[in-house]
Amino acid sequence: GHRVIHGVAGSGKTMILGYRAEYLARAQTPNSKPILILCYNEPLALKLESMMESKGLADRVHARNFHKWCRQQLVAFGQPIPSQGPGMFDAMVDNVIRGVQRQQIPSGQYQAVLIDEGHDFAPEWLTLVTQMVDPATDSLLLLYDDAQSIYERGRKKTFSFKSVGIQAQGRTTILKINYRNTRQILQTANAI
């Protein structure tokens, strides 16, 4: 089913995502659909991709930043790719959404979809990626922290997860402890 994990910075969200992807990949049968990891930040996607490669799982787990994944969908299914320039990324996302609506890009392509940095995903992006989960497995994991939204600071979550297709009622976990920093660092940061 669908699960949402909301956690503070340094609480282990990305580590949980990595271990979940590994667990699902190792439990796959030979003809299973791949697992998709999506995030907003390209360096994080490359780190996750490298992690899956080092575990010998790159053929079963695809880690991508959202816009790279959109471009790959357009190329793979012969959809128009917008030209370089302002608005290119938005146009690319719109082309994928329209391609799925017209059934020119298939939904249900992945055994599971795991989303890191969900706080940086627009509602229409979440609606799109929830459609990519195979209905037979219905496996979706969303990790987010509103306080970490780097790219669109002004955007507050003004939608419900249910409204974008995420059915995680009763399957939400909140991680409150930061394991990344020492107590002294946290106390100094809080004082500032």
Mean pLDDT for all residues in the chain: 89
Confidence of residue 148 (pLDDT cuts 50, 70, 90): low
Indicate the SS3 state at residue 63.
strand
pTM across the whole model: 0.85
C-alpha 191/C-alpha 60 separation (Å) is: 45
Q: Which of the residue ranges 25-29, 45-49, 149-153, 183-187 would you say has the lowest mean pLDDT?
A: 149-153
Q: How far apart are CA 90 and CA 58, in angstroms?
A: 28
154 vs 133: which has the higher pLDDT = 133
The mean pLDDT value for 144-161 works out to 64
Residue 101 host element (H or E): helix 88-101
Q: What is the rounded distance in angstroms from the CA atom of residue 104 to the CA atom of residue 77?
A: 7
Q: What is the mean pLDDT of residues 59-68?
A: 96
Residue 180, token pair as written in the block? 């990344």
- Flag whether pLDDT at 154 surpasses 50: no
**Residue 171: band (very low, low, confident or very high) from pLDDT cuts 50, 70, 90:** confident
pLDDT(146) > 80: no
Which helix (H) or strand (E) covers residue 172, if one does? strand 172-175
CB 14 within 8 A of CB 181: no
C-alpha to C-alpha distance for 153 and 89, rounded to whole angstroms: 18
Q: Tell which residue, 132, 94, 97, has the closest CA to residue 113.
A: 132
What per-residue confidence (pLDDT) applies to 157? 61
Contact 138, 1 (CB under 8 A): yes
* Rounded mean pLDDT, 65-89: 96
How many CA atoms lie within 13 Å of 109's alpha carbon, on the beta-carbon side? Answer: 18
Among residues 38, 41, 36, 72, the alpha carbon closest in space to that of 57 is found at 36
78: left (phi over 0), alpha (psi -120 to 50) or beta: left
